[in-house]
Structure 1
Amino acid sequence: MTQADPFGTAALRDAVTRSWERSPARFREDANTEEDLRLGGYRDRLLVELAQNAADAAGSGGVLAVEHVGGELRVANTGEPLTEQGVVGLASLRASAKRDGTSVGRFGVGFAAVLAVSDEPRVLSTSGGVAFSAARTREQVAALPGAAAEMTARGGEVPVLRLAWPVEEVLTEGFTTEVRLPLRAGIDAHALLESFAEQVPDLLLALPALSEIRIGERGWRRQDLDADRVTVHGPESSESWLLHRGGGHLPGSALTGLGAEARDSTGWWACWAVPLDDEGAPVALTGDVLHTPTPTEERLSLPARLLASVPVEADRRRAASSAAADAVLDRAAECYPELIAKVAPEQRAELVPVPGFPASDVDEKLRQAVLDRLRVASWLPAADGGFVAPHEARVLDEASEELVGLLAEVIPGLIVAEFSGARHRRALSALEVRRLGAADLVEAVTGLRRSAEWWRSLYAALLPIAREETREELAALPVPLADGRTVTGVRDVLLGDGDTEPDPVALLSTLDISGLRIADPRAVHPLLERLGAHRAGPAELLDVSALADAVRHSVPDARSGTDPRPLAEAVLRLVDSVGGRDWLGALALPDADGDHRRADELLLPGAALLDVLDSEVVGGEGPLGVVADDFAARWSPELLRAVGVLDTFEVHVEEEPTEPPEGLADTERWWSGRGTEQPPERFVGVRDLDLVSDDAWPAAIRLLARERHTLEALREPGGYTSWWIARFALLAGNPPRQWRLPESEELAGLYEPVPDVGLEPEHLRLAGVCAELSVADMSDVRDLTRRLGDRNRTVRAGTALRAHRALAEAVTNGVVDSADAEPPEAVRSVTGAVVGAERAVVLDEPWLLGVLEAPLVVAGGSPEQFDAEALAELLDLPLASENAVIQVSHGGGVTQRWRDVGRVPAACELLGMPVPSGEVVLQDGLKVHTADGEQSVHWWVDGAGTVYAERTPDGLSRALAWAADRWSERFALAALLADPAAVTLLR
């Protein structure tokens, strides 16, 4: 070996050419292999492969410089110079000189990347230089017959890197090795350098042995701030990265399937890197590739970059499918939680791989392995100050620092509020961290014993999340009460109002009222009201069912030994502030006898009502009592009346009752006697009427008329109050309904005028004294029929007619049901005489009066004035037409149309009525046959509807009025038929 050929290239060439000469197929194999590397695996990896070689040569602190000079690309680096073994590797295509397991390049194989841009590469070093040349290789091959034929078959393409020649050139100053690449025609040097510039930052990160890379005039510098942070400074900006490194040795089982040289290296290493922003916060990657340590084509979707010693395929583009590759990926995943632990706790979720489609098979394996490690490592910041593993962690759906701080000791594994935000939701979901909603939170605090102040702080922290969709769950929150208990559920809890006098909490918190839940004032917060609690002002408190129940039970409780005065005093103070309620009448108050009664069973001392009540009903065993004097003196009469204490008559009101109200006399009789099965929409009745003294009714009626509420009850049409007084009160010894007003002469004979009892006519009417004929119920029917049938009464005929008309109308209008009536034994006829019911008939056809005995006929007026059938049913009498079997005696009658009957058209015209369209039979003497013989009549209508009339104005007028359905005009028609002139009508 001479100085001119320090690396023995001549021997290498000789060995290669002899092999090609012996076997042209070997030439073709070498050419194909190099072509595969140039066109396949190592295309576009020029800078990467040269940078890896420079890193291996440098060891540390290496510098790489790339320039375009005189049509060739020059790539120079510092570090160890080229060696003979290196030259052998360059020219071997299949073997690298690097076998210590610590290098990152494959010097020899990777050098094939230079063929992408040059056919004449040269490598210069301080130890010597070598050149490769396509042209010179063709000259050598041309002398080899077999190989030359193969070269010709390949179009002159030869393996450039198999034959090396020594070269002596001057290196760029400051470097130990330089690769010079005359650029092939068509290569854009500027574009090539720009593509290099884009790769530099990643290469400086991936190759820590390099501290600087220069591309032309631009330079990039790596700065290791500490073991975990690296900054790459470029010509325009800087990039900082957070690193975590790991390493170790793989077991022999993991090396199965690797080549012999690869199996010699059991060491593995991995480095996770994540970029940092200007504030030092991690910036999650959204798409990257696996670096080994330089980039492969294995796409990854993890938030951090992985640089690792993953075995790769020969072209360094894909991870090798091997147990070793899986083992390195698995150990890299084990390191990932340690990378996250180096990030500020509130930023750690940014580095969790979120759900999504895997970018590659390697990505799928690595993502799953990372998530598996993250779930069991303790790195999430816990609310209690430590760290917790995701599989034991709990996160609130919505939270604030205040809320998490309160619950830190309540919910094991609760993590800080920062992680409740929406931006961490996907990350925590990927880790399967359990989320706690409003219902879970409520469950966690249920059963806790905490101070009222703690609960108020909790409510304040929950206020921001108390929206419509969470209100139902939060309504189950515990609430501390003023009596020291803590209840579950906000609804029905009452909230004290410190600005209100009297303070309900102070009034009732010491009372033992079952179901009354008043919040501890120290825990009161607006959230409770939003969730269904009620402000416990006096008005709200009086609307609480528990207080109403306590009042309703206060009398029995008092009689069993409970002191009712505290409850009574609290209720009275509340009522004094806001007014009463209907149920307050049940409040137990002390009476003058030393006992306790309901407030609505007590009277004020000196009450006006005492003057009209029977003395036997007040005090002792009576239904009413008088409020104890000392108690009454403490409270105003108005306040006592507000809780139901009586001063005058009171009115009982029920809306939409379904049955007779209890506690009032005879309501069942009033209810059943209303004449309808439909209940009233509203019941209004004065109570305690049955307790009035018999001789005090005039005064009682005046008292009722004096008060507006009782007067309205008394005036209610068909109401209970007027009904009861009319029947059961006493005026001069009789109920008011048995008297008539002195001026009501039309009732004379039926009713006696009421004596002077000191009441005005209006008061008498209100009390039920009769002012006119009316039938309101069946008792009125019985009373009126009894009076009509009383032989000792002198009843005028007109009065009897009107009375019968009122009875018929009561049936027709549905006021009474004739089926419920009691038939009278005697009735009043149209003459005013009383006749036995067995002889009487009800007139239904007026022409029958011509053959009937008037003292036996009962009527309510003319046919259009009353319903004869209704009256007959009510009195249980036959209709007159039912008993009559009568025939008309035909004797020379003439049938004429009404319009042809003399004077009929003129009479009708004067009255403005139409002439009937039918016919009439006119006879000079009209007679009918009855059971008693033949009788003369003025007019008649037979069973067939034929109208008969005698030739007289009296008979013809009635027949005409009936035929024209103008019965009330019969008397006017009689006069006009006698003298059909206008003056007749006007007289």
Structure 2
Amino acid sequence: MSTPERDPFGTEALRASVLRAWADSPTRFTEDTNAERDLRVGAYRDRLLVELAQNAADAALAAGVPGRLRVELAGGELRVANTGAPLDAVGVASLASLRASAKSGTQDTVGQFGVGFAAVLAVTSEPRVVSRTGGVAFSEARTREAVGHEPGRDGGVPVLRLPWPVEEAVPEGFDTEVRLPLREDVDPTALFARLTTEVEDLLLALPWLARVEVGDSVWERSAEDEQVVISAPDGTVRRWLVQGAPGGLWAVPVDSGPVPLESDVLHAPTPTDERLSLPARLIASVALEPSRRRVLPGADFTAPARAYPDLVRRFEPGQRLLLVPRAGFPLSEVDAKLREAVLAELAAQPWLTAKAGEIAPRRARVLDVESPELAAMLGEVVPRLVSVSGPEAVRVLAAVGAERLEIPELVELLTGAEHPPGWWRSLYDVLLSLVEAHWVSEEDLGALPVPLADGRTLPGPRGTLLFGASAELLDLLAGADVVGLRLVHPEAAHPLLERLGAREAGPAELLETPALRDAVERSAEDALSGLDIRPLVEAVLRLVSETGGEGLGALALPSEEGWRRAGELVLPTSPLLRVFDPEALGEEGPLSVLDEEFAQRWPSRVLTAVGVQDSFTVTAEGVRDLDLVADDAWPEALRLLAAERDTWQELTTGPTGHWLARNALLAGHAPDWWRLPEADALAGLYDPVPDVGIRADVLAAAGVRAELVVDDLEDAADLLDRLGDPARVVAPGLVARAHTELAKADLDWAELDAPERVRALDGTVVDAEHAAVLDRPWLAAVWPTGRLVAVPEGAEYLAELLDVPLLSELVSARLPEGEYVPWAELTAICLAAELLDIPLPEGGVVVHEELIVEIDGVKHDAPWWVESGSFHGEHHAEDTPAALARAFAWASGHWADRHLIETLLDDPDPLTLYT
């Protein structure tokens, strides 16, 4: 460095002044040394680029042209060049003073060559500043030389108190350059890397600085759409939205919306050490300590806080929540004061969007489920409801006083609201998506209002019906005013309602609802009381026409005499009118005829579906209204019954046939009085039915007898009368079959009068008091056939029925002596028993050449006998195959095989069994 010949900034005078001061006051030298050291290691540590950038911004402001700053390494020096106003004498004086600054005091001036220049001492002890107007240099070594080596001065010296003039050229395109020869302990690479991290913040904070170059890397600042745009060397562009505020401005990074800061520091306008947790950066003109790192006590942040909502309002409503400070511990005392002031302003000023405009959060209500669609729909319904929603919105806005609106409360607010059905359906669309996403529970929506087809709005879907129908049918149902019938308006029908308790209903389900059934049951009574039931009638018939119906017989319909229940009416064209007794039809009768004009308006299938009769009707008890058939119309009535599948099935399988058998009339008698012409086996007991023009199967189904059957006491009584009728000629076989049917009938004979006359085995009729029932087969030999009644089984039962004694009760016999022979000694018996696989019974038989029994002194021939009439008494038999066969069959319990045994006794050849 050459010694300059000129001193444009008067540095010689400055040095002389300082040296005199040190000489006059030795402590002043120590104070200056200590003060500079404090600035170097304390207040201005790590602020090299910040302080030099501030100087460059002030120079650009002074020149009125956006500035340019360049940082580079050259010859072991860090060189920082800038455009703008060049160095002047005032600036040099500021550089050489630790307690003064050349700042004009205006708001925009940051500090051109003020006390912050001490930051260069962190990297050098020989700084220089060169400019178009001249230059100055500072030197630790020259300062030591100037002050000598006096006692107490062998330590550090204040580098920036003694300036020397220098003559060096300024780089082309720049007005001033700071040149800093780096100390050996400074790593240039690390220094450059640190400086690059500070560039973007400096460009944002210093609006008069437009371009910064660090080596080959370039950052640029520009304005675009009210945003500060900072371009980085790698091509990335970062945008900041700025909002002016009294005494400063707010800035927040933006992309498609705000990109909130997670942590930052207060900028005044360059970074301080006051840590902040606000989403946006505050660049404020606030009183700082001389170090420019800390805010002076008592700083007031009311003015910038008041402008913070203005920044928030610059964004779309859905993005604004990002700028509300999040809950958390403040990072500094300044942070606490600033957060409190910002939150107070955000709570009080309108910036949240509601249907009526922007409102302040302290007046706002926030929906606690995230659904912009729902919030937008409900803006007109819920006062002060804002457009943002969801748990996060609730949490964020709670800090600024907003009220949380939960779904149950929302449902309560909706109760009574009047909206078109389509509006409600749109609401259900949104709510269903929330339910399916598990953000809203079905329980919370239990009282959700539902618009009904009749114009009412019901609180809660449970019990409602989702019924799709034409407007005409819905109008009819509405006009019917069915109490308790809750039909959802078709334009509001929605799957959500079904999930909440509404039921999907078609015409069939609607007809089954208790409300409609009750209305049908009351319809006749209502009609008689003067109520207009025509809408109900029309609606029910319309429903039935679409689906059919059952159990609607109570529906009132017009008859020729007035309103009657449908089940009491007959179609005007019904064939039943030909068979019913005329007295059964009319105002006083159980039935009436449906009004003819009304009947012509509806298909007969619809009218019969609600109970109007066109033919005989089958009920659970059988075919109804058979008791109304005229006496002379039964043949026609039976033909009608046979013509319909349902009535024919009931006739053949149900109780109707039994009723007809006793109550219908064919040729003056009930059907069961007659037999079918081809039922010859009943000839004698029953007469053939006359020709009444009815098929045989229909006659049989109606009760005309085809076989001998005893179903009840009435059958039994009739059969006994016929058996006891002397005018009837009955074949013996039919007599036996009749008595067998009577004996096996499981009836209570106590309710039946015993007959006066009975039919004997030979077909003759005998007074019951002279007859007996054969209960022991051997007794038949001693009793007249014309007085004997017999059945294969059940003799005791038949005797009770006829009130006739058992023959064994009347007969007591004396038997002659004979020869006792064990069964095993009877060869023919043993052969027959072996062929028939019959075990020989114990004991034997008393054999007689001729068996004569004596009864009351009268002797009778008896082929075989059992003494005392017991089953296990002593067996007697003549020595003949017929007698021995009967005795052995009875003793062995094989009575039914007696005739076969007899044959084998006559011819014991095994071939007898097969021929």
Contact 1:938-1:954 within 8 A present in 2 as well: no
Asked if 1:711 is matched to 2:639, the reply is no
Indicate the residue corresponding to 1:525 in structure 2: 491
CA deviation after TM superposition for structure 1 residue 133, in Å: 3.7
Indicate the residue corresponding to 1:203 in structure 2: 202
- Following superposition of structure 1 onto structure 2, how do residues 814-893 of structure 1 map, counting pairs within 5 Å? 822=751, 825=754, 831=761, 861-862=792-793
**What secondary structure is seen at the aligned counterpart in 1 of 2:385?**
coil
Structure 2, unpaired ranges of 5+: 1-8
Distance 1:869 1:17 in 2: 158
- Following superposition of structure 1 onto structure 2, how do residues 674-713 of structure 1 map, counting pairs within 5 Å? 683=620, 685-713=622-650
Contact 2:58-2:208 within 8 A present in 1 as well: yes
Q: 2:662 aligns with which of 723, 727, 739?
A: 727
Distance 1:438 1:466 in 2: 13
Indicate the residue corresponding to 1:182 in structure 2: 181
Contact 1:496-1:518 within 8 A present in 2 as well: no
- Identity value in percent: 43
**What secondary structure is seen at the aligned counterpart in 2 of 1:713?**
helix
Indicate the residue corresponding to 2:96 in structure 1: 87
CA deviation after TM superposition for structure 1 residue 614, in Å: 1.9
Distance 1:243 1:311 in 2: 22
For the structure 1 residues 739 and 368, does the alpha-carbon distance in structure 2 shift closer, same or farther, using more than 3 Å as the test?
farther
Asked if 1:413 is matched to 2:384, the reply is yes
Q: 2:78 aligns with which of 70, 73, 79?
A: 73
Distance 1:627 1:98 in 2: 112
Indicate the residue corresponding to 1:261 in structure 2: none
Contact 1:790-1:834 within 8 A present in 2 as well: no
Q: 1:374 aligns with which of 346, 350, 356?
A: 346
1:872-909 CA deviation, whole Å, 9 max, x = no partner? 999999999999999x999986778x8x9856786567
Q: 1:447 aligns with which of 416, 432, 437?
A: 416
Distance 2:895 2:513 in 1: 68
Indicate the residue corresponding to 2:214 in structure 1: 215
Indicate the residue corresponding to 2:706 in structure 1: 771
For the structure 1 residues 196 and 733, does the alpha-carbon distance in structure 2 shift closer, same or farther, using more than 3 Å as the test?
same
For the structure 1 residues 775 and 733, does the alpha-carbon distance in structure 2 shift closer, same or farther, using more than 3 Å as the test?
same
**What secondary structure is seen at the aligned counterpart in 2 of 1:89?**
coil
CA deviation after TM superposition for structure 1 residue 288, in Å: 4.4
Indicate the residue corresponding to 2:473 in structure 1: 504
For the structure 1 residues 508 and 875, does the alpha-carbon distance in structure 2 shift closer, same or farther, using more than 3 Å as the test?
same
For the structure 1 residues 786 and 372, does the alpha-carbon distance in structure 2 shift closer, same or farther, using more than 3 Å as the test?
farther
For the structure 1 residues 476 and 796, does the alpha-carbon distance in structure 2 shift closer, same or farther, using more than 3 Å as the test?
farther
Distance 2:380 2:854 in 1: 113
Q: Which amino acid aligns with 1:760?
A: R
Distance 1:784 1:193 in 2: 132
1:497-517 CA deviation, whole Å, 9 max, x = no partner? 37xxxx435766666665667
CA deviation after TM superposition for structure 1 residue 737, in Å: 3.2
CA deviation after TM superposition for structure 1 residue 205, in Å: 1.2
For the structure 1 residues 9 and 857, does the alpha-carbon distance in structure 2 shift closer, same or farther, using more than 3 Å as the test?
farther
Q: 1:649 aligns with which of 616, 622, 626?
A: 616
Structure 1, unpaired ranges of 5+: 149-157, 248-268, 653-682
**What secondary structure is seen at the aligned counterpart in 1 of 2:650?**
helix
Distance 1:56 1:335 in 2: 26
Contact 2:556-2:563 within 8 A present in 1 as well: yes
Indicate the residue corresponding to 2:6 in structure 1: none
Contact 1:273-1:305 within 8 A present in 2 as well: yes
CA deviation after TM superposition for structure 1 residue 761, in Å: 2.3
Distance 1:581 1:614 in 2: 29
Asked if 1:975 is matched to 2:903, the reply is yes
**What secondary structure is seen at the aligned counterpart in 2 of 1:985?**
helix
Distance 2:901 2:679 in 1: 34
Q: Which amino acid aligns with 1:525?
A: E
Distance 1:515 1:976 in 2: 87
CA deviation after TM superposition for structure 1 residue 537, in Å: 9.6
CA deviation after TM superposition for structure 1 residue 689, in Å: 1.0
Q: Which amino acid aligns with 2:74?
A: V
For the structure 1 residues 159 and 784, does the alpha-carbon distance in structure 2 shift closer, same or farther, using more than 3 Å as the test?
farther
- Following superposition of structure 1 onto structure 2, how do residues 202-351 of structure 1 map, counting pairs within 5 Å? 202-208=201-207, 210-223=209-222, 229-235=227-233, 236-247=235-246, 269=247, 271-277=249-255, 281-286=257-262, 288-295=264-271, 302-308=278-284, 324=298, 328=301, 333-351=305-323
Indicate the residue corresponding to 1:383 in structure 2: 355
Asked if 1:737 is matched to 2:734, the reply is no
Distance 2:150 2:805 in 1: 156
Q: 2:49 aligns with which of 47, 50, 56?
A: 47
CA deviation after TM superposition for structure 1 residue 379, in Å: 0.5
Q: Which amino acid aligns with 2:386?
A: I
For the structure 1 residues 872 and 297, does the alpha-carbon distance in structure 2 shift closer, same or farther, using more than 3 Å as the test?
farther
CA deviation after TM superposition for structure 1 residue 841, in Å: 8.3
CA deviation after TM superposition for structure 1 residue 725, in Å: 1.6
Relative to the length of structure 2, the TM-score reads 0.74
Q: Which amino acid aligns with 1:581?
A: G
For the structure 1 residues 363 and 785, does the alpha-carbon distance in structure 2 shift closer, same or farther, using more than 3 Å as the test?
farther
Indicate the residue corresponding to 2:913 in structure 1: 985
Indicate the residue corresponding to 2:550 in structure 1: 582
For the structure 1 residues 365 and 795, does the alpha-carbon distance in structure 2 shift closer, same or farther, using more than 3 Å as the test?
farther
CA deviation after TM superposition for structure 1 residue 340, in Å: 0.3
Indicate the residue corresponding to 1:920 in structure 2: 842
Distance 2:758 2:224 in 1: 129
**What secondary structure is seen at the aligned counterpart in 2 of 1:920?**
coil
1:304-323 CA deviation, whole Å, 9 max, x = no partner? 23345788899988x78x97
CA deviation after TM superposition for structure 1 residue 272, in Å: 2.3
**What secondary structure is seen at the aligned counterpart in 1 of 2:249?**
strand
Contact 1:289-1:297 within 8 A present in 2 as well: yes
Greater shift after overlay, 536-545 or 719-728?
536-545
Asked if 1:193 is matched to 2:121, the reply is no
Q: Which amino acid aligns with 2:240?
A: W
For the structure 1 residues 67 and 919, does the alpha-carbon distance in structure 2 shift closer, same or farther, using more than 3 Å as the test?
same
Distance 1:945 1:362 in 2: 127
Contact 1:72-1:182 within 8 A present in 2 as well: yes
Distance 1:574 1:910 in 2: 78
- Following superposition of structure 1 onto structure 2, how do residues 955-970 of structure 1 map, counting pairs within 5 Å? 968-970=896-898
Greater shift after overlay, 852-861 or 192-201?
852-861
- Following superposition of structure 1 onto structure 2, how do residues 752-763 of structure 1 map, counting pairs within 5 Å? 753-763=688-698
Distance 1:774 1:948 in 2: 38
**What secondary structure is seen at the aligned counterpart in 1 of 2:662?**
helix
CA deviation after TM superposition for structure 1 residue 984, in Å: 1.0
**What secondary structure is seen at the aligned counterpart in 1 of 2:451?**
strand
CA deviation after TM superposition for structure 1 residue 293, in Å: 4.2
Distance 1:829 1:338 in 2: 123
**Pairwise CA RMSD:** 6.0
Q: 2:138 aligns with which of 111, 131, 135?
A: 131
Distance 1:34 1:223 in 2: 38
**What secondary structure is seen at the aligned counterpart in 1 of 2:356?**
coil
**What secondary structure is seen at the aligned counterpart in 2 of 1:709?**
helix
CA deviation after TM superposition for structure 1 residue 649, in Å: 1.9
Greater shift after overlay, 976-985 or 128-137?
128-137
Distance 1:135 1:965 in 2: 156
1:691-730 CA deviation, whole Å, 9 max, x = no partner? 11233323322221123332122122xx232232223223
1:108-158 CA deviation, whole Å, 9 max, x = no partner? 98666545544555566878645354898799998658x87xxxxxxxxx6
CA deviation after TM superposition for structure 1 residue 282, in Å: 3.0
Indicate the residue corresponding to 1:260 in structure 2: none
Relative to the length of structure 1, the TM-score reads 0.70
**What secondary structure is seen at the aligned counterpart in 1 of 2:751?**
coil
Q: Which amino acid aligns with 1:339?
A: L
**What secondary structure is seen at the aligned counterpart in 1 of 2:842?**
strand
Distance 1:367 1:130 in 2: 46
Greater shift after overlay, 937-946 or 338-347?
937-946
Q: Which amino acid aligns with 1:6?
A: L
Indicate the residue corresponding to 1:599 in structure 2: 566
Q: 2:166 aligns with which of 161, 165, 169?
A: 169
Contact 1:9-1:165 within 8 A present in 2 as well: yes
